[in-house]
Amino acid sequence: MLVHLLKCFGAAPGGGNAALVVENDDSSETARQQFARERQVSACVFLGRQADGGIVLDYFYPHTRSPLCLHATLAAAHVLLTAPGAPAALTVTTAMRGQALQLVRRAEGIFIGLTPQPAPAVMVEKYVPSELMGQHMHLLSPPVIASVGSPKLLLEVADRTTLRALRPNLELIADWSALHQVNGCYAYSRTGEHEYEGRNFNHLDPALEDSATGVAAGALSAHLQQSLRLHQGHVTQQPCLIEVQYSAQAIWVGGMVQRST
Determine the pLDDT at residue 202: 87
168/150 Cα distance (integer angstroms): 20
208/256 Cα distance (integer angstroms): 21
Residue-wise pLDDT tens digits, 30-84? 999 999 999 988 899 999 998 888 999 999 998 889 999 999 999 999 999 998 8
Count of residues in the chain: 261
**What pTM does this model have?**
0.92
Residue-wise pLDDT tens digits, 232-260? 999 999 999 999 999 989 999 999 999 87
Q: Which residues pair with 139 in a beta bridge?
A: none
| pLDDT of 261 over the 70 cut | no
74/23 Cα distance (integer angstroms): 15
Distance of CA 72 to the CA centre of its chain: 8
Q: Given its phi and psi angles, is residue 143 left (phi above 0), alpha (psi -120 to 50 degrees) or beta?
A: beta
Q: Which residues pair with 154 in a beta bridge?
A: 144, 186
